[in-house]
């Protein structure tokens, strides 16, 4: 029912960039217009099966909008999204998740009245099979699946060493822990592509460093692709194998961290501005 959480030691052999072997995600000429505003236009991106990719750009560039397009919070006005080779045209948010995309949110969206454990278990709902009656009358399948879910929730929480917080109310967690819980909840859905929207926002440098390590560990352990939006350049350059730079809804550069750092257009649009400030 659930995929097994195998503990691959961090830093295990990961193929460099496996874009050329059938990619997990392919965006072709993706675009959306809000009223007259072209928030994202001609967006093309390919992500390998176990790649950590970064999506960067100044505020308002359209990064979150790309996530909303991928997860069908907005239906694209133009273009195609291929997830594992399948066109997601006509799918809604729920179906896209079932197809393998899970995400976190820039503005934290936890189930704040539920416990930490229940937030994670909610992510396993699709993997569960017992029906309403089995739940009401506490039939064997209820006990069996809830036990598995409980064990797996603690196991997933242990990635961030949060297993001791399992019974705490999620809304009462500190900010950083809430961000980490969002990642765990997304992982609970067994995604093949994990979208992280500014996962390090509001974290201090040591928390950020730890997060970086854990994102890598997640990729190594689950062998999934990660696409992350991040303002912390150090984090992005450090862990991303491929980076895509957005500005005013357009891709202005794509490449390895080294290529991006040397790209004049990027320096002007993004890094340059940073230096001035």
Partner 1 sequence: MKKKFRAAGKTARSNFLTFGIVVAAYIIIMALQSGGMISSAMSGLMVPICAYIVMAVSLNLTVGIMGNLSLGHAGFMSVGAFVGVITAMSLQASIPSGPLRLALSMAVGGLCAGIVSLIVVIPVLRLQGDYLAIVTLAFGEIIKNIVNCLYVGLDKNGLHFTMKNAMALNLDAATGKKIMQGPMGAVGITKLSSLTAGFILIILSLIVVLNLINSRAGRAIMSLRDNRIAAESIGISPARYKIMAFVTSAVLAGMAGTLYAMNFSSILAKKFDFNTSILVLVFVVLGGMGNIRGSIIAAAVLTVLPEMLRQFADYRMLIYAIVLILVMLITNNPRTKQLLAKIRSPKSGKEETEHVL
Ligand X SMILES: Nc1ncnc2c1ncn2[C@@H]1O[C@H](COP(=O)(O)OP(=O)(O)O)[C@@H](O)[C@H]1O
The site for Mg ion (CB under 5 A) is made up of 64, 106
Size of the site for ligand X (CB under 6 A): 11
> In angstroms, rounded to a whole number, what is the distance separating the alpha carbons of residues 258 and 238?
10
Q: Any contact of residue 273 with ligand X (CB under 6 A)?
A: no
Residue 77 interacting entry, from ligand X, Mg ion, partner 1, none, C-beta within 5 to 8 Å by type:
none
Residue whose C-beta lies closest to Mg ion:
64
Q: Bin 169: left if φ > 0, else alpha if -120 < ψ < 50, else beta.
A: beta
Distances (CA, A) of 141 to 1, 58, 116, 121, 151: 12, 50, 23, 16, 15
Q: Tell me which residue has tokens 């359209």.
A: 62
Q: Any contact of residue 158 with partner 1 (CB under 8 A)?
A: no
Exactly one of 21, 89, 98, 273 binds partner 1 (CB under 8 A); which one?
98
Contact, 183 vs 196, CB < 8 A? yes
Residue 39 interacting entry, from ligand X, Mg ion, partner 1, none, C-beta within 5 to 8 Å by type:
ligand X
Q: Any contact of residue 132 with partner 1 (CB under 8 A)?
A: yes
120: nearest Cα among 164, 146, 145, 156:
156
CB of 132 to partner 1, least distance (A): 6
Q: Any contact of residue 86 with partner 1 (CB under 8 A)?
A: no
Q: Any contact of residue 180 with partner 1 (CB under 8 A)?
A: no
Residue 61 interacting entry, from Mg ion, partner 1, ligand X, none, C-beta within 5 to 8 Å by type:
ligand X
Q: Tell me which residue has tokens 């560039």.
A: 61
- Applying CB under 6 A, which part among 58-66, 124-132, 187-195, 199-207 lies near ligand X? 58-66
Distances (CA, A) of 237 to 18, 113, 162, 195: 18, 36, 27, 17
Distances (CA, A) of 130 to 3, 134, 136, 138, 140: 18, 6, 10, 10, 9
Q: Tell me which residue has tokens 């912390």.
A: 232
Q: Any contact of residue 54 with ligand X (CB under 6 A)?
A: no
Nearer Cβ to partner 1 (157/212): 157
Exactly one of 5, 148, 168, 252 binds partner 1 (CB under 8 A); which one?
168
> In angstroms, rounded to a whole number, what is the distance separating the alpha carbons of residues 260 and 241?
11
Residue 34 interacting entry, from partner 1, Mg ion, ligand X, none, C-beta within 5 to 8 Å by type:
ligand X
227: nearest Cα among 239, 217, 211, 213:
239
Q: Bin 223: left if φ > 0, else alpha if -120 < ψ < 50, else beta.
A: left
Exactly one of 6, 9, 13, 137 binds partner 1 (CB under 8 A); which one?
137
Q: Any contact of residue 142 with partner 1 (CB under 8 A)?
A: yes
Q: By CB under 8 A, name the binding residues for partner 1.
A: 71, 73, 92-94, 97-98, 102-103, 105, 109-115, 117-119, 121-123, 125-126, 128, 130, 132, 135-138, 142, 145-146, 150, 154, 164-169, 172-174, 185-186, 188-189
């Amino acid at each position: 029912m659930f995929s097994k959480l195998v503990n691959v030691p961090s830093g295990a052999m990961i193929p460099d960039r496996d874009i050329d072997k059938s990619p997990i995600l392919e965006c072709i000429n993706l675009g959306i217009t809000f009223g007259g505003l072209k928030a994202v236009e001609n967006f093309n991106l390919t992500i390998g099966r176990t790649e950590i990719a970064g999506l960067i750009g100044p505020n308002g560039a359209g990064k979150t909008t790309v996530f909303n397009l991928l997860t069908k919070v907005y239906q694209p006005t133009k273009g195609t999204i291929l997830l594992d080779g399948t066109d997601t045209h006509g799918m809604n948010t729920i179906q896209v998740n079932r197809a393998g995309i899970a995400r976190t949110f820039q503005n934290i969206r936890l189930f704040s009245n539920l416990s930490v454990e229940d937030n994670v278990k909610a992510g396993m709902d699709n993997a569960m099979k017992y029906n309403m009656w089995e739940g009401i009358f506490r039939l064997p399948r209820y006990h069996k699946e809830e036990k598995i879910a409980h064990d797996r929730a603690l196991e997933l929480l242990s990635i961030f060493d949060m297993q001791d917080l399992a019974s705490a109310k999620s809304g009462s967690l500190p900010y950083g822990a809430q961000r980490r819980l969002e990642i765990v909840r997304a992982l609970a859905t067994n995604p093949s592509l994990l979208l992280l929207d500014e996962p390090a926002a509001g974290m201090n440098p040591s928390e950020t460093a730890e997060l970086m390590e854990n994102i890598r560990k997640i990729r190594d352990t689950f062998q999934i692709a990660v696409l992350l939006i991040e303002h912390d350049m150090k984090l992005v350059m450090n862990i991303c194998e491929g980076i895509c730079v957005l500005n005013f809804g357009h891709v202005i550069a794509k490449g390895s961290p080294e290529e991006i750092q040397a790209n004049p257009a990027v320096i002007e649009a993004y890094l340059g501005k940073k230096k001035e400030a």
